[in-house]
């Protein structure tokens, strides 16, 4: 059974997401203490892949993930999962809401349920733990009265019960995770794919516009952009881009070669099915057939076959 790393400990949102990311095959999930350690295990071949947070995470520091993906040997994403940020209030059986004196969780999770706590448990004191799962563990051990955790925590601490579910202050927040592994055969295109990459360009007026125009001119829909400074390379800037389409698609391939010519470096971070399975809309001038027809036409021109 393949081993899959994730940002631990067991019972966190990343475990929940990694289960979703590996639901199509039997996998043995192995927790790692940090994202860089999980990715190092993939690079070293100790595990097949790793489940890591990439956007708006509760426990994982997302800049850490982006930086860890782009330093050391390349890795590629092969699957995406999007989880609603749903917190449960866990306690030992028979404990009533009014009896809870202490509530534990990761500081970021506590911040995201603060309104709910002050409305529903105004007397309870909050306690910080290193993760939402560690909070459940301490409640099971009798250290605190209640934990704010992911629902998957109940699988690891069966002595606890869900006292209240869905207590996040902002009910529609989501967290995005990727399953990443060493480069190899890519996932098949599905028509509803996303491609991620990190591009480094010179810090000049207009260089970002020119790079993004390469995507826009080919009808490629950008779904996310984030700039991150490069500390050791003065005068350059790093951009993380996500856009609709698969590297096997003609328009994506054509755009990638243009970025490769234009940027100081381009790191391909994977083409994988989008979690929401919404198909890419492709304008007629950027279709596979349009690229094929125009390539044939150019070939004819160059061969003197002006028919």
List % helix, strand, coil for the chain (3-state, nearest 5): 30, 30, 40
- Dist CA 62 CA 89 (whole Å): 25
| Minimum distance, C-beta of residue 280 to a copy of itself, in the bound complex (Å) | 11
Nearer to a copy of itself, 2 or 84 (CB): 84
| Minimum distance, C-beta of residue 299 to a copy of itself, in the bound complex (Å) | 28
| Minimum distance, C-beta of residue 102 to a copy of itself, in the bound complex (Å) | 13
Nearer to a copy of itself, 1 or 205 (CB): 205
| Minimum distance, C-beta of residue 227 to a copy of itself, in the bound complex (Å) | 5
Nearer to a copy of itself, 48 or 110 (CB): 110
Nearer to a copy of itself, 22 or 219 (CB): 219
Query: What SS3 state is found at 219?
Result: coil
Where does this chain bind a copy of itself (CB under 8 A)? Answer: 33-34, 56, 59, 61, 63-64, 106-108, 110-111, 114, 126-131, 134, 172-173, 203-206, 208-209, 212-213, 215-216, 219-227, 231-232, 239, 283
| Minimum distance, C-beta of residue 73 to a copy of itself, in the bound complex (Å) | 19
- Dist CA 284 CA 154 (whole Å): 50
Nearer to a copy of itself, 229 or 304 (CB): 229
Sign of CA dihedral 38, 40, 42, 46: negative
Nearer to a copy of itself, 285 or 296 (CB): 285
| Minimum distance, C-beta of residue 241 to a copy of itself, in the bound complex (Å) | 10
Nearer to a copy of itself, 15 or 22 (CB): 15
* Runs of H (alpha helix) within 77-151: 107-112, 114-120, 132-140
- Dist CA 180 CA 168 (whole Å): 28
Q: Are 257 and 239 in contact (CB under 8 A)?
A: no
* Runs of H (alpha helix) within the chain: 13-21, 35-43, 62-70, 107-112, 114-120, 132-140, 153-156, 207-216, 250-262, 288-302
Q: What radius of gyration do the chain's Cα atoms show?
A: 23
Nearer to a copy of itself, 224 or 260 (CB): 224
Quote the distance between the C-alpha of residue 265 and its chain's center: 22
**Among 216, 207, 261, 271, which Cα is nearest to 239's?**
207
- Dist CA 208 CA 204 (whole Å): 8
| Minimum distance, C-beta of residue 55 to a copy of itself, in the bound complex (Å) | 9
| Minimum distance, C-beta of residue 206 to a copy of itself, in the bound complex (Å) | 4
């Amino acid at each position: 059974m393949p081993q899959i790393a994730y940002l631990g400990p067991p019972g966190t949102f990343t475990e929940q997401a990694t289960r979703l990311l590996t639901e199509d095959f039997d996998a043995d999930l192995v927790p790692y203490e940090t994202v860089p350690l999980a990715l190092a295990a993939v690079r070293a071949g100790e595990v097949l892949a790793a489940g890591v947070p990439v956007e708006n995470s509760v426990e994982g520091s997302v800049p850490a993930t982006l930086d860890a993906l782009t330093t050391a040997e390349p890795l590629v994403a092969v699957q995406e999962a999007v989880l609603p940020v749903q917190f449960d209030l866990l306690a030992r059986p028979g404990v009533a809401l009014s009896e809870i004196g202490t509530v534990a969780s990761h500081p970021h999770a506590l911040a995201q349920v603060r309104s709910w706590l002050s409305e529903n448990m105004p007397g309870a004191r909050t306690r910080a733990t290193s993760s939402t799962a560690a909070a459940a563990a301490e409640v099971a051990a009798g250290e605190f009265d209640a934990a704010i955790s992911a629902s998957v925590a109940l699988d690891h601490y069966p002595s606890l019960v869900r006292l209240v579910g869905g207590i996040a202050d902002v009910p529609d927040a989501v967290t995005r995770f990727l399953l990443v592994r060493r480069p190899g055969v890519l996932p098949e295109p599905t028509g509803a794919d996303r491609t991620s990459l990190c591009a480094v360009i010179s810090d000049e007026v207009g260089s970002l516009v020119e790079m993004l125009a390469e995507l826009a001119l080919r009808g490629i829909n950008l779904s996310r952009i984030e700039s991150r400074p490069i500390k050791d390379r003065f005068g350059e800037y790093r951009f993380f881009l996500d856009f609709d389409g698969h590297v096997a698609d003609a328009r994506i391939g054509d755009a990638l070669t243009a970025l490769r010519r234009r940027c100081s470096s381009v790191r391909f971070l994977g083409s994988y099915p989008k979690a929401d399975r919404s198909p890419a809309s492709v304008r007629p001038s950027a279709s596979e057939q349009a690229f094929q027809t125009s390539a044939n036409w150019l070939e004819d021109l160059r061969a003197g076959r002006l028919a």
